[in-house]
Amino acid sequence: MLLEARRISKFYPGVKALNSVDFSIDAGEVVAVVGENGAGKSTLMKILAGAIEPNEGELYLDSNPVEFDGPLDAQRHGICTIYQELMIVPELSVVENVFLGHLKKKGIFLDWNTMRKEAQGILSRLGLTASLDAKAGDLSVAEQQLIEIAKSMSRKSRLLIMDEPTASLSKDEVASLFELVHSLKEEGIAVILITHHLHEIFEICDRLIVLRDGDYIGASDINQIDEAGLVEMMLGHAVDTYDKGRRQNVKSDELVLKASGLTRAPYIDNVDLTLNRGEVLGIAGLMGAGRTELMRAIFAADKIDSGVIEINGSLAYLSSPRNALNQGLGLAPEDRKTQGLVLSMPIGHNATMPSLSEHVGLLGLNLRKEAAAAKDLCEKLLVKYASLSQPAGNLSGGNQQKVVLAKLLGAGTDIYLLDEPTRGIDIGAKEAIFDLIWDLTAKGNSVIIISSVIEELIRVCDRIVCLHLGRVTNTYERGDFDLNRIMLNAMGKSGEGAIQ
């Protein structure tokens, strides 16, 4: 046995994040920690990695009691973590980020040649094509995720903790990551995996443990449980989310948004796009396809080189995101940490931020009204919180993501642009988000959605546009959705049955 945790408890004001949880992992074993948003997964990982101290319980390394004096100490003992919220330093280059905290030296000089060679090796195994000298802050969330993974691969570790490493990766990228995990396993390195994509657990893990509301629910060998059984353990009751039908088609003939010739070198190249009232339009594509850039260009978050946007049939001159918001566009950004939320501000204020003016009366801000609106929004999205006055940064990752959506919902726009809205969201809440999207369209709103999980787009969209290297390769109508074709298209290969 490599690492064991016994009767671990962690309390925060009003929250039992972990309640007497047991955990253990052997060398060369891959173990999944499973549970809904806020179940306590990340808290347990932070305790194993020495990043926070438990209120109760003990850790044993190689069967000896151990107390880590911070995360660096845990690293010295061979425990490395890829945290759920990315820790990339945006101003530093890719290679500097990979070796941050353990720069290699030759004598008294930094050995950049070796570091570059090693970084390049790991990154190409992971399928990341970005230059070693690129500024990390300029890369997409998915690329930053791969840098985080490379960072911990570059250290000598005995246990690698991966907290939702695949949340923003597409199938191919997940496949390369899992190949790496296989080779680590063969070298005797233990891996803990957290993911809300449950099928991944069955692909790569030997064993799983389930947490619910901070309680230890149980453990199972992977070949003694199926997905339905796992979901039941997670939620405490069975669900049939997968068989739930799709809402009626409410797409009308009225064009609400038309983009023509949108170009922003080198990210998007001459993209045409249309969106009808009541429609859910999906954008599929791999990392670097330009999906986020396309959405940001429409929202006027980035300046375009050329192209025009029409809203409700007339030319729209969108000068800034605020201006876009005034013209009925709203964006839920991909990066919740830097663009989506003010982490130090209370959950409630975050949720109502764009709609604050609605709660201002003669005597200034009507706090009671604002709190009621925030509560309503958070309940709609199943946010799990102890109090609305808690800082948003104290929420679990998935619950922060829900607040990003609550905030946009509160803004009450006409056209919703959702960039990876389901990133890090558990399966129950994912259904709530799909329901919400369908409710919005039934009310006459329109939605553009990006997801790296094509199955999700197939489930929720009326139409899917495939983007590759900044260009639209194909468009599919709901009746012609085909997972393989869409995937091929997103990879830049031709697929049959497309409209264009």
Q: Which does 148 bind (CB under 5 to 8 A by kind): ligand ATP, Mg ion, none?
A: none
Q: Which does 278 bind (CB under 5 to 8 A by kind): ligand ATP, Mg ion, none?
A: none
How crowded is the C-beta side of 337, counted as CA atoms within 13 Å?
15
Residue 38 near ligand ATP by CB under 6 A: yes
Cross-strand partners of 58:
6
User: Using the rule CB under 5 A, which residue among 397, 410, 421, 470 binds Mg ion?
Assistant: 397
Comparison of 75 and 84: residue with beta carbon closer to Mg ion: 84
Shortest separation between residue 105's beta carbon and ligand ATP, angstroms = 36
d(CA 267, CA 452): 17
Residue 54 near ligand ATP by CB under 6 A: no
For 179, phi then psi, to 5°, come to -60, -40
Comparison of 161 and 415: residue with beta carbon closer to Mg ion: 161
Residue type for position 474: N
Shortest separation between residue 27's beta carbon and ligand ATP, angstroms = 25
Q: Which long-range contacts (CB under 8 A, 24 or more apart) does 95-103 make?
A: 95/119, 95/132, 95/133, 96/136, 97/136, 97/147, 97/151, 98/122, 98/123, 98/147, 98/150, 98/151, 98/154, 99/151, 99/154, 100/151, 101/72, 102/154, 102/155
Comparison of 397 and 470: residue with beta carbon closer to Mg ion: 397
Strands (E), 171-229: 190-194, 207-212, 215-221
The answer to whether 217 touches 210, Cβ cutoff 8 Å, is yes
d(CA 102, CA 115): 10
d(CA 37, CA 384): 8
For the chain, what is the total number of helices (H) and then of strands (E)?
16, 24
Residue 399 near ligand ATP by CB under 6 A: yes
d(CA 417, CA 293): 12
d(CA 60, CA 275): 57
Residue 441 near Mg ion by CB under 5 A: no
Per-residue interface string for the shown chain with Mg ion, residues 38-77, x marking contact by CB under 5 A:
----x-----------------------------------
Per-residue interface string for the shown chain with ligand ATP, residues 80-119, x marking contact by CB under 6 A:
----x-----------------------------------
Helix (H) / strand (E) containing 159 = strand 159-163
Residue 396 near ligand ATP by CB under 6 A: yes
Q: Which does 37 bind (CB under 5 to 8 A by kind): Mg ion, ligand ATP, none?
A: ligand ATP
The answer to whether 206 touches 30, Cβ cutoff 8 Å, is yes
Close Cβ partners of 480 (under 8 Å, ≥ 6 residues apart): 497, 498, 499
Judged by CB under 6 A, the stretch of 10-18, 177-185, 290-298, 369-377 that binds ligand ATP is: 10-18
Shortest separation between residue 356's beta carbon and Mg ion, angstroms = 29
Judged by CB under 5 A, the stretch of 134-142, 181-189, 236-244, 396-404 that binds Mg ion is: 396-404
The answer to whether 191 touches 184, Cβ cutoff 8 Å, is yes
Residue 145 near ligand ATP by CB under 6 A: no
d(CA 321, CA 327): 10
How crowded is the C-beta side of 61, counted as CA atoms within 13 Å?
16
Crossing angle between the packed helical segments 397-411 and 367-380, to the nearest 10 degrees: 120
Residue 401 near Mg ion by CB under 5 A: no
Comparison of 15 and 309: residue with beta carbon closer to ligand ATP: 15
Q: Among positive and negative, which fits the CA dihedral 416, 417, 422, 427? A: positive
Shortest separation between residue 452's beta carbon and ligand ATP, angstroms = 17
Q: What is the CA radius of gyration of the chain?
A: 23
Q: Which does 15 bind (CB under 5 to 8 A by kind): ligand ATP, Mg ion, none?
A: ligand ATP
Residues 74-93 that bind Mg ion (CB under 5 A): 84
For 79, phi then psi, to 5°, come to -105, 115
Residue 37 near ligand ATP by CB under 6 A: yes
Q: Which does 330 bind (CB under 5 to 8 A by kind): ligand ATP, Mg ion, none?
A: none
Residue 257 near ligand ATP by CB under 6 A: no
User: Using the rule CB under 6 A, which residue among 15, 371, 383, 453 binds ligand ATP?
Assistant: 15
Shortest separation between residue 338's beta carbon and ligand ATP, angstroms = 18
d(CA 64, CA 1): 10
Counting residues that bind ligand ATP (by CB under 6 A) gives 21
Comparison of 132 and 403: residue with beta carbon closer to ligand ATP: 403
Name the token pair of 162. Answer: 């991966």
Residues 366-395 that bind ligand ATP (CB under 6 A): 384, 394-395
Residue 479 carries which DSSP code? G
Residue 399 near Mg ion by CB under 5 A: no
Residue 154 near ligand ATP by CB under 6 A: no
Shortest separation between residue 427's beta carbon and Mg ion, angstroms = 15
Residues 409-448 that bind ligand ATP (CB under 6 A): 424, 426
User: Using the rule CB under 6 A, which residue among 57, 288, 307, 398 binds ligand ATP?
Assistant: 398
Binding site for Mg ion (CB under 5 A): 42, 84, 396-397
Binding site for ligand ATP (CB under 6 A): 12, 15, 17, 35, 37-43, 84, 384, 394-399, 424, 426
